[in-house]
Amino acid sequence: MDIADIKRPENLVYRKPALITDNVMHYCPGCSHGTVHKLIAEVIEEMGIQDSTIGISPVGCSVFAYNYIDIDWEEAAHGRAPALATATKRLCPDKHVFTYQGDGDLASIGTAEIIHACSRGENIVVIFINNGIYGMTGGQMAPTTLIGMKTSTTPYGRDPKLNGFPMVIADMIAHLDGTAYITRQSVHTAAAVRKAKSAIRKAFEYSEKNIGLSFVEIVATCNSGWKMSPVDANAWMVEHMFRKYPIGDIKDVLK
């Protein structure tokens, strides 16, 4: 069969999600942020909740997330997305409210906001992009940076004596009674992408049940900050990041 005969509308099996805008993403080639945006867009489209979803974008490389997914957005000060989401959800309980945050944003400057939003059991979704580094500002160490990992502020590798230990946020918040669903996923293979999408869908569905906060961590790459090619960064993530941040569900109050 000719390629031209295959490329017919009736044979279409995958296309760019309808809610991903035509704006060219400013992300570096191969950056995980774009892949995760796509999954959020697909879930919102499939659930038919485009008009009832409000996203809160962070400070970090994904600050412009509002340019890429065609829904309503707010833009929070650094780390404060869970506070804005709290107010938004309480004022508009019928809306689906989610934050999208990097590890510098969520696990460093915004630690208080995320911990207390979890503890209060806010009925929001948190998408946490853990690439182990401050991508946007030039690759400085984050609380999530692995021991021995080289960053621009730990040029000889993270030394726990000097820089402390990596913070495993998802496991920490699992101890808080206000969290309903906590999972850790990745987007480096097609199978991983499918699982991550199901997890994001479940998180949005749980937020409708008013049973507490749902948290989807995506173990991600920052190939620019890590100073690797996108393909090498994915392999490095599997070998090193997954050891400290293993993939899988951590908590599900409905199971």
Ligand X SMILES: Cc1ncc(C[n+]2csc(CCOP(=O)(O)OP(=O)(O)O)c2C)c(N)n1
The least CB distance from residue 29 to other proteins, in Å, is 4
The position carrying tokens 């929070």 is 76
Based on the number of CB atoms within 10 Å of its own CB, is 16 exposed (0-12), middle (13-18) or buried (19 or more)? exposed
Structure tokens at 51: 């008009």
Task: Select from 30, 55, 82, 104 the one that contacts ligand X (CB under 6 A).
Answer: 104
Task: Select from 125, 136, 180, 237 the one that contacts ligand SF4 (CB under 6 A).
Answer: 136
Residue 61's region, left for phi above 0, alpha for psi from -120 to 50, else beta, is alpha
Give the orientation angle of helix 190-207 with respect to helix 32-47, to 10 degrees. 50
The least CB distance from residue 108 to ligand X, in Å, is 7
145 is a contact residue toward Mg ion (CB under 5 A)? no
Measured CA to CA, the distance from residue 45 to residue 240 in angstroms comes to 34
Task: Select from 53, 62, 131, 145 the one that contacts Mg ion (CB under 5 A).
Answer: 131
Q: Are 130 and 218 in contact (CB under 8 A)?
A: yes
> Residues 225-244 vs ligand SF4: string with x where CB under 6 A?
x-------------------
181 is a contact residue toward ligand X (CB under 6 A)? no
> Residues 62-101 vs ligand SF4: string with x where CB under 6 A?
----------------------------------------
Q: Are 214 and 126 in contact (CB under 8 A)?
A: yes
Task: Select from 30, 79, 82, 102 the one that contacts Mg ion (CB under 5 A).
Answer: 102
The least CB distance from residue 12 to ligand X, in Å, is 32
Task: Select from 85, 222, 233, 237 the one that contacts ligand X (CB under 6 A).
Answer: 222
Measured CA to CA, the distance from residue 216 to residue 196 in angstroms comes to 8
Residue 35 contacts which entry, ligand SF4, other proteins, ligand X, none (Cβ below 5-8 A, type-dependent): other proteins
DSSP sequence for 110-150 = THHHHHHHHHHT-S-EEEEEE-SEETTTTSEE-TTPPTT--
Task: Select from 39, 40, 56, 61 the one that contacts ligand X (CB under 6 A).
Answer: 61
134 is a contact residue toward ligand X (CB under 6 A)? yes
Based on the number of CB atoms within 10 Å of its own CB, is 196 exposed (0-12), middle (13-18) or buried (19 or more)? buried
Structure tokens at 147: 């021991």
Task: Select from 137, 189, 210, 229 the one that contacts ligand X (CB under 6 A).
Answer: 137
Tell me the number of residues near ligand SF4 by CB under 6 A: 12
Nearer to Mg ion, 79 or 104 (CB): 104
Query: What residues make contact with ligand X under the rule CB under 6 A?
Result: 59-62, 78, 102-105, 109, 129, 131, 133-137, 142, 222
